[in-house]
Structure 1
Amino acid sequence: MQENQTDRDTLLDTFRSDLFNGKSIVVSGATSGIGLAIAHGFARLGASVVATGSSPEKIARERLNPANQAIRFELLDARDGDGIKAFAATFETLDVLVNAQGILCGEAEHTEEVFLDVIDVNLNGVMRMSYAFREHLIRAKGSIINISSMLSYLVEPEIPAYAASKTGLLGLTRTLAHAYGPHGVRVNTISPGYHKTDMTKVLWSVPKSHDLIAGHSALKRWGSTEDLVGAAIFYASPAASFITATDLPVDGGYVVGNTVR
């Protein structure tokens, strides 16, 4: 099945090239996939972008990639509360925090140790980052964008921790929106559907599951990571100045489809 993948340059031409000039952006979980694509989107529109990840190998790889010259990569583990506080202390202000970190561990999530670890990264890590940068965001009247999942709305029995963490993220986002809103900070989520990333390669690399999932989407294709960039830029832009405590599904209509995978 031929797919019409979103082109980054065409997408970014939609926005002013200086839209985020002078703005400071942190994107967590940005050494690959969705987080990296979003980091590139903000950098292309003039922002000063710091991308974080917990893998020293991935950080080293991305620092050497010529395509990433406009982005600064820093090692940071979402489980490390003290490390996050120390990282935040190196900033004076922050305009946008994108929490894109996430892990998925399959059926091992039915064990207590793995379940709690996934929750710690995907949900607790968002709270740690949001709290550490709270005062920075207040000074900038900035915004937080949390990356949730369509599995906040659907059931996947094999990954209870991932589904629970991403569902909890919706509740956390709404709560923080009201807690931080009086100070001028907006907090929203984006819920991706099936996008071609390393995490979903086990599905899109197999023709049968690839086509089955694409066929369930209203647009009859998989999403690309670039399909999520515009949503993040919109949320962070003045065009969304009265939008907070909301979730934006970017799933090609998958969740509301009337057939089963």
Structure 2
Amino acid sequence: MSISFALHGSTALVTGANRGIGRAIAEGLAAAGADIIGVSSGIDPHGSAVQRSVEALGRRFEAHRVDFADRAAVTRFARLVAERPEPVDILVNNAGTIARTPALDYPLDSWDTVLEVNLSSQFVLTQALARRMVERGAGRIIFTASLLSFQGGINVPAYTASKSAVAGLTKALANEWTGRGVTVNAIAPGYIATDNTTALRDDPARSRAILERIPAGRWGVAEDIAGAAVFLAGPAAAYVSGTVLAVDGGWLGR
């Protein structure tokens, strides 16, 4: 029996690829053999760090700057990518944002922005690219969920709502498309040392409480997520669909 994690000959589109988890995923997929389309609101179209890393691995890199809070911009980009001659084989919906305010004071404009970036824009892009995947009978779609897809969190009502919805959307799309050759899964990162968790890591009491609950005894790093993405994107995960895979150092097992 042969089990393959190789992605040679495939093209992966990774949103939020400029830094953190998205960059690590892009680099991990490239190391496994995929060419990368990197998308971010702040990416340098001509010479980002992630581009240099991907090209150093011998893979092609294409950058696009897209504001995922702008529905019209996302729709235009989705149409552009869907019509490209070479199809996208792997879509990683990783772009995301967070706003921390107690629910009683939570601004509605923050609510709208978080839901647009974390959920609605991802559906727009997924719908556009999945049409071609379904027609070809092959494709891999991976969302970035969260521990707050399972839990409520504190002072992040919009983020929790969006990530809970991502978990549900993953299952709904898997139900429709798995039988047509397109798997749909999500990765739920645990407490990872990225920009989104700076406020938590800067709070000594909160950081200590988090670390005390993580069996691995440390904050995760972005590279911890890359292996899960490579697995879900490749042949080895052909029979995995509708799953929200926690990569959390054991947090949910407590």
Q: Normalising by the residue count of structure 2, what TM-score does the alignment of the two structures yield?
A: 0.87
Instruction: Determine if the alignment matches structure 1 residue 72 to structure 2 residue 62.
Output: yes
CA distance in 2 between partners of 1:64 and 1:254 (Å): 29
CA distance in 1 between partners of 2:50 and 2:232 (Å): 30
Residue of structure 1 aligned with 2:212, choices 210, 215, 233: 215
Structure 1 residues 7-65: Cα deviation after superposition (integer angstroms, max 9, x where no partner): xxxxxxxx97x811111110011111111100000111211111100125x55662686
2:15 maps to what in 1?
28
Instruction: Determine if the alignment matches structure 1 residue 200 to structure 2 residue 197.
Output: yes
CA distance in 2 between partners of 1:65 and 1:236 (Å): 20
The answer to whether the 8 A contact 1:95-1:142 is kept is yes
Q: How many residues matched?
A: 241
CA distance in 1 between partners of 2:52 and 2:140 (Å): 29
Q: Which residue identity does 2:64 align to in structure 1? A: E
- The structure-2 alpha-carbon separation of the partners of 1:215 and 1:198, relative to structure 1 and needing over 3 Å to count, comes to same
2:232 maps to what in 1?
235
CA distance in 1 between partners of 2:191 and 2:45 (Å): 25
Q: Mean Cα displacement is larger for which, 34-43 or 151-160? A: 151-160
User: What pairs up with 1:85-104 in 2 under 5 angstroms?
Assistant: 85-104=79-98
Q: Which residue identity does 2:82 align to in structure 1? A: A
Structure 1 residues 203-251: Cα deviation after superposition (integer angstroms, max 9, x where no partner): 2245544333222101111111111111111111211111101111111
Structure 1 residues 137-188: Cα deviation after superposition (integer angstroms, max 9, x where no partner): 2226111000000011112231111000000011111111111123210000
1:135 shift after superposition: 2.6
1:106 shift after superposition: 1.1
CA distance in 2 between partners of 1:127 and 1:190 (Å): 16
1:100 shift after superposition: 0.3
The answer to whether the 8 A contact 1:95-1:143 is kept is yes
- Percent identical pairs in the alignment equals 33
CA distance in 1 between partners of 2:111 and 2:154 (Å): 13
- The structure-2 alpha-carbon separation of the partners of 1:255 and 1:64, relative to structure 1 and needing over 3 Å to count, comes to closer
Structure 1 residues 49-94: Cα deviation after superposition (integer angstroms, max 9, x where no partner): 11100125x5566268643434322112333222321233225322
- The structure-2 alpha-carbon separation of the partners of 1:38 and 1:91, relative to structure 1 and needing over 3 Å to count, comes to farther
Gaps of 5+ in 1: 1-14
Instruction: Determine if the alignment matches structure 1 residue 107 to structure 2 residue 77.
Output: no
User: What pairs up with 1:24-173 in 2 under 5 angstroms?
Assistant: 24-55=11-42, 62=48, 66-69=52-55, 70=59, 71-78=61-68, 79=71, 80-107=74-101, 110-138=106-134, 139=136, 141-173=138-170
Instruction: Determine if the alignment matches structure 1 residue 189 to structure 2 residue 186.
Output: yes
The answer to whether the 8 A contact 2:98-2:159 is kept is yes
Gaps of 5+ in 2: none
- The structure-2 alpha-carbon separation of the partners of 1:59 and 1:140, relative to structure 1 and needing over 3 Å to count, comes to farther
- The structure-2 alpha-carbon separation of the partners of 1:140 and 1:76, relative to structure 1 and needing over 3 Å to count, comes to farther
Q: Normalising by the residue count of structure 1, what TM-score does the alignment of the two structures yield?
A: 0.84
Residue of structure 1 aligned with 2:176, choices 170, 175, 179: 179
Higher relative contact order (CA closer than 8 Å, sequence separation 6+): 2
CA distance in 2 between partners of 1:154 and 1:59 (Å): 37
CA distance in 2 between partners of 1:182 and 1:162 (Å): 31
2:247 maps to what in 1?
250
